Amino acid sequence: MEHAVSKVSVSRGSVQETLLLPLWGRAFETKQKSPRLKDEKALEILEKVDYDFSTIEQTQTMSQHSWVARSIQTDAIVRAFIKEHPKATIVNLGCGMDTTFSRVDNGQITFYELDFPDVIALRKNFYRDDERHVSIASSLHDTGWFEQIKPVDGLLFLAGGVFMYSSEVQMKEFFVAIADHFGSCEFCFDSLSPLGLKIGKRMVLKKGGMDNFKDSDGWALKSPKHIEEWDSRIKLVSALPMNKGVKKGMPLKTRLALSIPDLLGFASMVHLRIEAGRE
């Protein structure tokens, strides 16, 4: 007699529950007839999670497109960086249940996954660390983890759906600390406008049945260019509307619906470069 495989439990109302949203979005896309993104690792993980995804599937149709778009945009920036730096060091800040490494690994990069201890513990049900794929259990703002990163061929930081949960003061301190410690490096992350932040935190979480999460001020950017004012070493490479270039093949109604937040500047995919020696 075959024994049922025990699944990993995730409690309703927990912070870990929010990590399932973009994971489900990528898995859902992968199962489509003509997926814009293929993420077999996301499918594999979802099959091992004991969780009723019916509420998410019923309420997050439009948000799903944004999660997929963020991954597509991130993958493009990462692949371009790896092409220039084949042995790059990449640090995935607030990694949650992200699966970027599984999609972009070239067999040479070193990829760090950083998040709170309970999140890293959850990830260990699905990933095992090795010399090129390493977990770091730490708060983003506890900069002691800097010492664990030893770049040899370019350094790229990723952050998807993370920075908006910090304050502007915290983020300014963080970027300056990164510049001071590491010198030259690059960043790829998503930013939200003030209205985009309000909609994202109130609608996405609450519609998914996670209405015990309270609003906080968070970090909203009216213009990503503003970050350059924090330090002369920080340079904006690009800031693209989140859904730009990823709507091909979608129904007209959906394309139009996704064009509205882009036109209003709700969410951007930001690519920054920090240049050493320009304080």
Strand partners, 235: 273
Domains and CATH numbers, the chain: 9-274 (3.40.50.150)
Please provide the DSSP assignment of 44-104 as one string. HHHHTEE---HHHHHH-HHHHHHHHHHHHHHHHHHHHHHHH-TT-EEEEET-TT--HHHHH
**Structure pTM?**
0.90
Per-residue pLDDT of the chain (279 residues; tens, 9 = 90+): 344 457 887 766 556 678 888 999 999 999 999 899 999 999 999 999 988 887 777 667 777 888 999 999 999 999 999 999 999 999 999 999 999 999 999 999 999 999 999 999 999 999 999 999 999 999 999 999 999 999 999 999 999 999 988 999 999 999 999 999 999 999 999 999 988 887 776 655 554 444 444 555 689 998 999 999 999 999 999 999 988 888 777 788 888 878 877 788 788 999 999 998 654
- Distance separating alpha carbons of residues 71 and 161, to the nearest angstrom: 11
d(CA 273, CA 236): 6
DSSP 167-233: -HHHHHHHHHHHHHHH-SEEEEEEEE-HHHHHHIIIIIHHHTT-TTPPP------S-GGGGGGG-TT
